[in-house]
Amino acid sequence: MKKLLASALLCSSFVSPPVFATAPPIEQQKQVAGYYQYQSGDVQITALLDGTNFMSPTLFKDIPQKQVHEILKKYYADQDKGVQTSVNAFLVNTGKSLVLVDSGAASCFGAHLGSVLSNLKASGYKPEQVDTILLTHLHPDHVCGISKDGKANFPNATVYVSQDEANYWLNPKQAEKIPQEKRAGYLSTVEKIKAALAPYQAKQRFKTFKLGDDIQGFKVINTAGHTPGHFSYELKTNAETVVFIGDIVHSHTVQFDRPETSIEYDIDPKQAVQTRLKQFADFAKHGQTIAAPHLPFPGMGHIYSADGKSYQWIPVHFKD
């Protein structure tokens, strides 16, 4: 026994003793998986977080920077890194069909985005179950998530986008019409779009629609401006009307207080503002439930207006 104790002491003398003077810090934990289940009558909508982005306040147009900062301050949103923005996608289980509306950025914009696929799996659904993908437009933060390294992430899905949008990005003649200073940016975006769509096109699973069409019970709404063929999708459930608005708005602060403020990403800023004003007025009047890719996750809620000029974002209340 004595011998054992002696050898134990000997062993421990080789290990440097721990310092107990100050307690080690308690390790901070990660945010939970980014999905949120929303029940709309019989239909389940799963909001999927792709990640968090930070936008420069200088991207807002037609508004003095001083006013931008005043609004951000009011919302406690003025941050050193920039204006915090979510990138969201939505999975809709209608009972007959599993529809993904937009798909996140995958690796097109860096490692801070690209979690739609892992969050979809974490939510309990399987990528093979998705039969329809509705894209509001073809910007990389909406289309890149459908594929990875030339393979379809959703092997049984058919991808839909408007005919106008497909024409703007996929018609080779279009490049000549883009102003010289914007052409390089346009062409690099086109490359990303083509890579994402290729595996679906190879299997004839890429389709376009026009105004008046209906896809799996979703009505298409022309909301052009942000891009030339931008569309929103309306779904009537047995409880309410839900509108998947796409990029008619990028900020729950500046563009709600001052909806006539466009953003650098808008291809036709004037039309984008007109679309937002028209849609916001309609949503404030009729109270549709809104699902938005760039409002704070889960990006679902309602739009309220006290005066018909400025608006307020009313997020859904957490429900378990």
Rule CB under 5 A: which residues touch Zn ion?
A: 139, 141, 247
CA distance 290 to 280: 10
Pick between residue 43 and residue 220 the one whose CB is nearest to Zn ion. Answer: 220
Task: Report, in Å, the least distance between residue 15 CB and Zn ion.
Answer: 54
Task: Report, in Å, the least distance between residue 139 CB and Zn ion.
Answer: 5
E strand intervals along the chain = 35-40, 43-55, 83-93, 98-101, 132-134, 147-148, 151-152, 158-162, 206-209, 214-215, 218-222, 231-236, 241-244, 289-291, 300-304, 312-315
User: What distance lies between CA 25 and its chain's CA centroid?
Assistant: 35
Pick between residue 46 and residue 251 the one whose CB is nearest to Zn ion. Answer: 251
Query: Is the Cβ–Cβ distance between 227 and 165 less than 8 Å?
Result: yes
SS3 (DSSP) at 311:
coil
Give me the residues paired with residue 35 across strands: 48
Alpha helices in 155-212 (DSSP H): 163-170, 174-177, 180-202
Pick between residue 247 and residue 257 the one whose CB is nearest to Zn ion. Answer: 247
Q: What are 302's two structure tokens?
A: 């309602």
Q: How many other C-beta atoms are found inside a 10 Å radius of the C-beta of residue 198?
A: 14
Pick between residue 164 and residue 247 the one whose CB is nearest to Zn ion. Answer: 247
What is 19-67 written as a DSSP string? P-SSPPPPPP-PPPPSEEEEEETTEEEEEEEEEEEEE-GGGB-SS-HHH
Task: Report, in Å, the least distance between residue 302 CB and Zn ion.
Answer: 21
Task: Report, in Å, the least distance between residue 61 CB and Zn ion.
Answer: 16
CA distance 101 to 219: 13
Pick between residue 40 and residue 296 the one whose CB is nearest to Zn ion. Answer: 296
Pick between residue 50 and residue 164 the one whose CB is nearest to Zn ion. Answer: 50
Task: Report, in Å, the least distance between residue 26 CB and Zn ion.
Answer: 37
Pick between residue 165 and residue 247 the one whose CB is nearest to Zn ion. Answer: 247
Pick between residue 141 and residue 266 the one whose CB is nearest to Zn ion. Answer: 141
Task: Report, in Å, the least distance between residue 33 CB and Zn ion.
Answer: 22
Task: Report, in Å, the least distance between residue 126 CB and Zn ion.
Answer: 26
Query: Is the Cβ–Cβ distance between 220 and 214 less than 8 Å?
Result: yes
Task: Report, in Å, the least distance between residue 124 CB and Zn ion.
Answer: 26
Q: Supply φ then ψ for residue 10, to 5 degrees.
A: -60, -45
Task: Report, in Å, the least distance between residue 55 CB and Zn ion.
Answer: 11
Pick between residue 199 and residue 293 the one whose CB is nearest to Zn ion. Answer: 293
Buried b (16+ CB within 10 A) or exposed e, 121-148: eebebebeebebbbbbbbbbbbbbbbbb
